[in-house]
Amino acid sequence: MPLGTLDRTPPPFFKQGIPALTKLVFFSALALFLMVADTRFRVTQPLRAAMATVLHPVERVLLAPVRAWGTVHDYFAGVAEARAGEAAALRRLAEQSERASRVDLHLQENARLRELLGLRAQVTVRSGAAEVLYEASDPYTRKLIIDRGANHGIEAASPVIDADGVLGQVTRVYPLASEVTLLTDKDAAIPVLNTRTQARAAAYGDPGTAAAGAGMELRFLSNNADVQPGDVLHTSGVDGIYPPGLEVATVLSVDRRSGQTFAKVVLAPAAVQGSVRHVLVLEPLNLQLPARPGEAAASAAPVLPRRSGEQP
């Protein structure tokens, strides 16, 4: 074989080609250029959109088993939750039916005792439903605006309740709306009765403790007063505004500090004031009660004409 026909090139294993460092620098610069260009000019946005469009059916197919599993899980979880809710509702309905029967029995006994003792009949409380429109814009007060006003027969000082208990009191009446001051407002106060001890007290709003699930407190209660956490407080009815027997709050904690005259009693309102949507506005009791002796005497006193020259 002639020597001129021999292949003198090195084997492919020993071929170097472009140096690896040159390739690294080139592709690093290209990647950096593409990132800067994409960030500033979004040159790859059409490509991304096209790829997303092409891959979208594939993604939907791959997600179908996951979604099917989630749907089945949610279905069975919803069925279990619905059954648990139904059982709880049936228990509450049974308890309310039993309570209603006992209330009817007590009302009948109360009516017979009043007839026996010659006492006057209980005051009938008239009421009307209303819907909460929004909260007052003042961040330093706790007030709600309802959609009933003077044109609907709402009067100032009317108690406002919901399904859980007393919510507040109407403090300002407009023609088509009314302003309700909640019991947790710093200026709110309500006379209460401890259902366990039958002791009367006054509950005041304490918005500083609302974040801890409270919002009210019993003030001017002696340090050795018989009050315990868990005591339920109802309206006493002595103010002539709130009907007696409405649930107001539950005692949350009692702090008896040594050296202090009064105990610090923190209350949790019975009505959930942040999620209420519909309320019941009651007629104030003072519209049906007889006038106070002083007011009646003042209204009945005749006004005598003054003589000429007599000073008032």
Q: Tell me the CATH number of domain 127-288, given options 3.40.50.300, 2.40.10.340, 2.130.10.10, 2.60.40.10.
A: 2.40.10.340
- Nearest CA to 185 out of 215, 156, 159, 158 is that of 215
**What is the predicted pLDDT for the residue at 150?**
92
DSSP character string of 39-73: HHH-TTHHHHHHHHHHHHHHHHHHHHHHHHHHHHH
Report how far residue 208's alpha carbon sits from residue 185's, in angstroms, rounded to the nearest whole number.
10
**What is the predicted pLDDT for the residue at 173?**
93
**What is the predicted pLDDT for the residue at 294?**
65
Which amino acid would we find at residue 94?
A
Locate 238 and state its tokens.
């002595």
**What is the predicted pLDDT for the residue at 304?**
47
**What is the predicted pLDDT for the residue at 310?**
47
Neighbours of 24 (CB within 10 A): 10
- From first to last of its 312 residues, the chain has per-residue pLDDT tens of 555 566 666 565 555 667 888 889 999 998 888 888 888 877 778 887 888 888 888 888 888 888 899 899 899 999 999 999 999 999 988 888 888 878 778 878 887 887 777 765 665 678 889 999 988 877 778 899 999 999 998 999 999 998 888 999 999 999 999 999 999 998 899 999 999 999 999 999 988 777 677 889 998 888 888 999 999 999 998 888 898 888 999 999 999 887 788 899 999 999 877 778 889 999 888 776 666 666 655 555 554 444 544 444
- Nearest CA to 158 out of 146, 170, 142, 166 is that of 170
**What is the predicted pLDDT for the residue at 248?**
93
Q: How far is CA 93 from CA 6, 88, 90, 101, 182, in A?
A: 104, 9, 5, 12, 29
Q: Where are the domains of the chain?
A: 19-122, 127-288
Q: Which residues share a beta bridge with 199?
A: none
Find tokens 């309740």 and name the residue.
161
Q: Which residues share a beta bridge with 251?
A: 267
